[in-house]
Homo-oligomer: A and B are copies of this chain.
Amino acid sequence: MNNNSNSQKVPLNKTIRHSVIFSFKAGMSDQDKRHFFDAVSKLTAIEGVRTFEILKQTSVKNKYEFGISMEFQNNEAYQYYNNHPDHVAFVQNIWLKQVEDFLEIDYESL
């Protein structure tokens, strides 16, 4: 009934906040990391990706150095991203070659 055109105001109970914390393989130079993050940034162009952030992971209580966080309006948008050729190519050609270890986290409203 509320025809709100502000795309940020999606129903809270639909939104999925997807994030991944990760560490690079040994031997990645600063330039390698810049190229990696440039490639990560291009994933924002995939339809449905919202609130995209590249972050430092600073808790000393886990072993991961960085994080990537984004939101999807619903699971359909999330799966569209997951299966998108640009995302699949990024995972195959860059992520798997340069990332040592990672953990994925998906948050939804309780």
Contact = CB atoms under 8 A, between A and B. Distances in A.
Interface of A: 16-19, 21, 37, 53-59, 61-62, 64, 66-67, 69, 103-110
Interface of A is mostly: strand
A108 B56 contact: yes
**Could you say how many copies of this chain the assembly holds?**
2
B108 A105 contact: no
Given A37-B110, A59-B106, A105-B105, 7 more contacts: A21-B105, A55-B109, A57-B105, A58-B108, A59-B105, A62-B103, A62-B105
Contact of A61 (B57, B103, B107): B103
B103 A55 contact: no
Contacts of A58: 16, 106-108
A56 B109 contact: yes
B62 A104 contact: yes
